[in-house]
Structure 1
Amino acid sequence: MRKLVYLSMLMLCLVGCGKGDTSYIPSVAVNFSAPLTDPRLSKLGGIGGSTVITGYGVAGLIIYRYGTGTNDYVAYDRCSSYLPQNKCAVTIDATGLTATDPCSGSKFLLSDGSPVKAPATRSLKSYSVYVSNFTIFVSN
């Protein structure tokens, strides 16, 4: 009986030690900061403004301003949540309200990162954002 228990435990370990779920955007260190007067952030001047910052996260960052308050910003990794191992970078649509994965056609709301068009079912990866002394900070 004891051998059967050990054999069962061994089988569970072997089955559970697979490659892992690759459907999540990888965690990478993000530490972006810039003064709000930085030309890259000029589109964040009003509600609904958004901009792309390259060189951070998995596929770059999207920063979106959803209100008039000092800290009314959100930031997402541009890596699509649909097949993230492909590292397909979403692009901001002309409306400024959504971003599209050019590889799959998935669409995401910029206000909260949620998917609004299949095949994506998971939100974009979000990062912490705060503003202090007219400088924006994005980190995880």
Structure 2
Amino acid sequence: MMKRFCLLILCFVCFSCGKSSDYVPDVAVNFSAPLSDPRLSKLTAAGGAVLISGYGVSGLIIYRSASGYVAYDRCSSYQPEKRCAVTLDDPALTVTDPCSGSKFSLNDGSPVKAPATRSLKSYSVNVSNNEIFVSN
């Protein structure tokens, strides 16, 4: 009886403690730049978006909505283990995962076309003294 109990516990531990790979990994993000930076020139008006590489899992998307700035990781939330970087659509209201065809809204990061069901990973954005800060 004790052997069965131990075997049951061992099976439970082995099969229930696996690390889930269906979420975009957490990595430290600490991006800052003056809003006058040429890389951010498309953010001068609402509806503008820029891609910044070298931050997050697959880079950053910074979008200027009518109510302010938002930032997301470019890593698609659909099969994030592939680290497929979304690309900007024209006009810049959505982004597309070139690996799966999923589309995401830049207003809130939510999926607008399957197969994705999770929103893009978002980051905190602060603007102070004409400088933008993106962090988590």
Question: Where does residue 87 of structure 2 map in the other structure?
Answer: 91
Aligned residues: 136
Report the secondary structure of 1:113's partner residue.
coil
Q: How far did residue 6 of structure 1 move?
A: 4.0
Structure 1 runs not aligned, ≥5 long: none
- 1:28 is aligned to 27
Runs of 4+ residues deviating >6 angstroms: none
Identity %: 67
Which residue does 1:60 correspond to in 2? 59
Q: Equivalents in 2 of 1:14, 1:58: separation in Å?
A: 28
| Distance apart, 1:14 and its partner CA | 1.8
Please report the TM-score for the alignment, with normalisation by the length of structure 2: 0.93
Query: C-alpha separation between the residues in 2 aligned to 1:10 and 1:104?
Result: 37
For the pair 1:139 / 2:106, whether they are aligned, the reply is no
Q: Distance in 2 between matches of 1:50 and 1:123?
A: 17
* Structure 2, gaps ≥5 residues long: none
- Structure 1 counterpart of 2:135, which letter? S
CA RMSD of aligned residues (A): 1.3
- The structural deviation recorded for 1:7 is 3.8
Residue aligned with 2:61, SS: strand
Structure 1 residue 84, shift from structure 2 partner: 0.8
1:75-99 alpha-carbon deviations (Å, 9 max, x no partner): 0000111111111110110111000
- Under a length normalisation based on structure 1, what TM-score does the superposition of the two structures give? 0.91
1:119 correspondence with 2:115: yes
